Amino acid sequence: MLDNIVRFLMNDYALTTALVLLLLALWFAGESPETRARNQRGVLSAIASMFLGNLIVKAMNLAFYRYRPFAFNEVTLLFYYPSDSSFPSNAACVGFAIATAVWLHNRTAGWISYLLALLLGVSRVVGGVHYPSDILGGAVVGVTVAYLVAIKTPLFSRLWSVIIRKLRQLLLA
């Protein structure tokens, strides 16, 4: 029973789909235009953070290869046999990048996102495809990238405002 729960949580679809659905709901959430715009900036920051974080993880995987836990340890693998580098975890990077970008714009949705990202990371350790340090490494990359995109790079903020304004014009036309 527990194996089935972990298998469900760690797959490439369940929690990542939940995070994407949360982003979709957040795009339309907000009682005022200002709140909706803040939420929409969070969604755009999450998408950009996820993309940039993924690029960084892929580059790190090319520079440094770490074998997965099942390669040298006896573990009950609850997943397919991934062949890419274990460190840092791309799943953790994506989950924590989305969660951080959302949290920086909407605390309630952010906490929910962090819970989903944490469940994804823990399930991948329990399922035998990552070491805890892989998850931590992916989380650090995701959080850092999201913070830089959402807070420290004014170019993104201006770009999000333009995109949101253009989409509203397009939809109202």
Domain boundaries, the chain: 2-71+84-172
Q: How long is the chain?
A: 173
Residue 173: the pLDDT is: 58
Q: φ and ψ at 88, to 5 degrees?
A: -80, 160
Q: What's the distance, Cα to Cα, between the start and end of the chain in Å? A: 52
Count Cα atoms within 13 angstroms, Cβ side, for 134: 25
Give the model confidence (pLDDT) of 3-33 as tens digits. Answer: 777 777 777 788 989 999 999 999 999 899 8
The answer to whether 11 touches 79, Cβ cutoff 8 Å, is yes
Name the strand (E) or helix (H) holding 58: helix 33-63
Give the model confidence (pLDDT) of 29-65 as tens digits. Answer: 989 989 999 999 999 999 999 999 999 999 999 998 8
Would you say the pTM of this structure is higher than 0.75? yes
